[in-house]
Structure 1
């Protein structure tokens, strides 16, 4: 259950980063509310995960999912570069997160 909570926290973090980009592009109440709710959900699910998982592992996986997710969302929805090198490094981030799960 802790790993599922951590995965949901990472997805909420990704949604929060996308909403932050939306707030920067056009300030409106719905974007701000989405950002606040997404980051709030991220912290809530992260706290659930940290009841069982070691802090270092949980934080590393959470930030990895958030960083990789933010980069992927940027490429898919915000026109950011899809250079093959970016994809290689995103894959490395996700691979490191999986590796932490395997050794925890």
Structure 2
């Protein structure tokens, strides 16, 4: 169960980053609330997950999910490059996260 909580913590981190990007374009109360809520929920879920998952592993997975999510959102919705080298490095992050799960 903690692994699912950790996954959702990473997804809410991505939501916070999307809100941060939107706020950089135009400051608006809606995106500010989404930013605070996204990061607040993300950190709360991370804290819950760390009760059963070691700190180093939980933090690495959390940042990995956030990194992968942020890059994919950027490529899909914000026109960031989709070249093969970026996809290769995303796959390395995924492999690392799976590896940490397997040894934990």
Corresponding position: 1:97 with 2:75: no
Matched residue SS, 2:65: helix
Residues 17-32 of structure 1 correspond to what in structure 2 (within 5 A)? Answer: 17-32=17-32
Provide the residue aligned with 1:59 in structure 2: 59
Alpha-carbon distance in structure 1 between the residues aligned to 2:102 and 2:19:
31
Provide the residue aligned with 2:79 in structure 1: 79
Runs of 4+, deviation exceeding 4 Å? none
Alpha-carbon distance in structure 2 between the residues aligned to 1:4 and 1:48:
11
Count of residues in correspondence between the two structures: 104
TM normalised by structure 1 equals 0.97
Provide the residue aligned with 1:34 in structure 2: 34
Give me the CA root mean square deviation.
0.7
Cα deviation, residue 74, structure 1: 0.6
Corresponding position: 1:68 with 2:73: no
Alpha-carbon distance in structure 2 between the residues aligned to 1:2 and 1:11:
14
Unaligned runs of 5+ in 2: none
Matched residue SS, 2:14: helix
Cα deviation, residue 13, structure 1: 0.6
TM normalised by structure 2 equals 0.97
Alpha-carbon distance in structure 2 between the residues aligned to 1:41 and 1:51:
16
